[in-house]
Chains A and B, each alone.
Chain A
Amino acid sequence: MLPFTTNGKNHEIAKILKIIGQLSLPLSTRGNIAIESLHQKKTKLTNNLHDLIVPLISKDEAARMQVILKAQTFAVYPILVGSHTLGVLVIGLEKSVADLSQSERETLHELIDVVGLAIERSQIYASLQRANKKLKELDQMKDDFVSVASHELRTPMTAIKSYLWLALDGRGGKLTEKQKYYLDRAYISTDRLIKLVNDMLNISRIESGRITIEMNKIDIQQLVQDVIDEVKPRADEVKVKVTLDQPQKKILPVLADPDKIKEVLFNIIGNSLKFTPEKGTITISFESKEDGHVIIHVRDTGRGIDEKDMGTLFTKFGMVEGSYVTNKKASGTGLGLYISKSIIELHKGKIWAQSPGIDQGTTFSFTLPYYKKGDKVVIKPEKSVEDRKLGIIHSGI
């Protein structure tokens, strides 16, 4: 509210304001009304500029400045946000405070409130930015730790797994039934431990957004068939039949990352295999939806899921009671469905489970979007990760 008139003294006024703006006083200074206002949280008035800048500027110099500023009165307002004082706002007035009209007073108060809020916001923003930066650093540290730790853990686990395998293979001599049984259990647990480490590394990657989904135009029917072929030996072992319910019409291609969708199918089918008794079946079927997506159902004739366990199914370590038994059938990590859910959600799809009740089987279902013309895809040779000889990755179709 300083009068920036065009009388040719603007330059001098600006110079004085700059000088005042650069002054710095300790908060313990006595006899300065700006500091007093700050401490007492009270509005202060003065007719002398000197009261505001004491003891840094002499009385004579302050008087000279005040003449150039053409200010009669200075009002010092504490800027309060809640009970917290952020600073003071000094307003120089051409007339004395008593001469201010009601509307001028109101405008002044509103201005002070707005200034207070603006300063508070900027401070909150700055502290949020600091907190955000810190969180990102911590997240990176966690990722690095998980990555290194999982590598370090795998080395001794590989040694244990290898020696157990060699012993079970009879390379250390013939084993008694009991020895075989003990070693077999140790081997299964080691494998489970390795899987747990892998899953945790996967989750760390998914949660930090470092997982890369490479979208492709996929023949989902073929992909499901490939997965069925791959799980067949395991299914035969536990005497469960895995079949594909052939759709009447060819299923249109979907937009998905084939390796990731295979992982989801392995998880779901693997789960069904654990809970389906001998002579049971697992059936995979497709349900085409008008609004641009297909639902893939995996139905088993297993023991079903109790209503009360449905909620924890897709959560981290959300294992259904009694599902961790150290035998070849059930040795889950409790992370598979959580990872599957994360993967499907990265595809903008949904995943859910339904069960009519105990001993009435379970159906796991997930959706995938159909491929649309113009969808961006990554072209990659279709080989398993292990032996994939790298091709050049092209973008576009």
Chain B
Amino acid sequence: MKNPAKILVVEDDGTLRDIYTNLLKDEGYQVDSAFDGSHALEKMRMGGWDLVLLDIMLPDIDGYNIMNALRDVPPSKPVGPIVFLTNLSGEDNVEKGLEKDGVKGYWVKSELTPGQIIQKVKGLLAEYRK
């Protein structure tokens, strides 16, 4: 893949982090990951991502608060679409998630197969990447 899209995976569960990063790498994307909120925030603030898959329930700062922090101190380089990839369901949580600036989707992990995640990632990248 020429000039592969850069994707950041934020996931505290080691097994799921492996699954998602390897899945995306196999598709030819350039993938980096973060295992907690503070590392995620640091990497997101550096910018330069074409897509961020962001978990909500993280050990230190949750996904919602990462988005709040990002709104208060914006990244130095632009960040592409951010998608919550979480197992936290419930309409109230979904609404709260989609309210955040820059959040383009709310995907529930347990409802999606790896194949569906790849399809959704491709769709979003096609929509947002120039």
Does A166 make an interface contact (CB < 8 A)?
yes
| Per-residue A-contact encoding for B75-101, CB less than 8 Å = 1, 0 else | 000000000000111111011001100
- B115 and A390 contacting across the interface, CB-CB below 8 Å: no
**Choice from B23, B57, B107, B114 contacting A386 with Cβ under 8 Å:** B107
CB pair A159–B13 under 8 Å, yes or no, is yes
**Per-residue CB proximity of A122-166 to B under 8 Å, as 1/0?**
000000000000000000000000010011001111110111011
**B49 is an interface residue with CB less than 8 A from chain A:** no
State the Cβ distance, B9 to closest chain A Cβ, in Å.
13
Across the interface, which residues of A come within 8 angstroms of B88, CB to CB? 151
- Please tell me if the beta carbons of A385 and B91 are within 8 angstroms of each other in the complex: yes
Bound: A285/B108 CA distance, A:
33
Q: Quick one: which of A162, A198, A389 contacts B114, CB cutoff 8 A?
A: A162
Q: Is the CB of B110 within 8 A of A161?
A: yes
Q: Mark A193-204, 1 if CB is under 8 A from B, else 0.
A: 010011001000
Complex: how many Å from CA A150 to CA B89? 9
A229 at the interface (CB under 8 A from B): no
Please give, as numbers and ranges, the residues of chain B lying within 8 Å of A387 by CB-CB distance. 105-106
Residue from the list B95, B109, B113 in contact with A165, Cβ < 8 A: B113
Q: Is B3 an interface residue (CB 8 A)?
A: no
Contacts of B90 in A (CB 8 A): 147, 201, 205
Q: How many residues of B contact A (CB 8 A)?
A: 28
B8 shortest CB reach to chain A, Å: 19
Q: Does A309 contact B (CB under 8 A)?
A: no
User: B106 touching A386 by the CB < 8 A rule?
Assistant: yes
**Number of chain A residues whose Cβ lies closer than 8 Å to a Cβ of chain B:** 28
List B contacts of A169 (CB < 8 A). Answer: 114-115
Nearest B residue (CB) for A391:
B98
Cα A154 to Cα B111 in complex, Å, equals 10
Q: In the complex, what's the smallest C-beta–C-beta distance from B120 to chain A, in angstroms?
A: 9
B46 located at the interface, meaning its Cβ lies under 8 Å from any Cβ of chain A in the complex: no
Determine the chain A residues whose CB is within 8 A of the CB of B109 once the complex forms: 154-155, 158
**What B residues does A201 contact at CB under 8 A?**
89-90
Q: Which residue of A lies closest to B124 (CB)?
A: A387
A155 touches B16 (CB 8 A): yes
In the complex, the answer to whether A390 meets B98 with C-beta atoms within 8 Å is: yes
Partner of B13, one of A155, A163, A205, A386: A155
Q: Are A151 and B57 in contact (CB under 8 A)?
A: yes
The smallest beta-carbon distance between B115 and chain A, in angstroms, is: 7
Which B residue sits closest to A165, measured CB to CB?
B113
The distance in angstroms between the C-alpha atoms of A147 and B88, with both chains bound, is 9
- A281 to nearest B CB, angstroms? 29
Instruction: Point out the residue from A159, A165, A386, A389 that lies within 8 Å of B16, measured CB to CB.
Output: A159
Contact in complex: B115, A165 (CB < 8 Å): yes
Question: Which residue of A157, A163, A212 is within 8 Å of B19 (Cβ)?
Answer: A163
In the complex, which residue of chain B has the Cβ closest to the Cβ of A214?
A: B91
List of B residues within 8 angstroms of A151 by Cβ? 57, 87-88
Chain B residues packing against A (C-beta within 8 Å)? 13, 15-16, 19, 23, 26, 57, 87-92, 94-95, 98-99, 104-111, 113-115
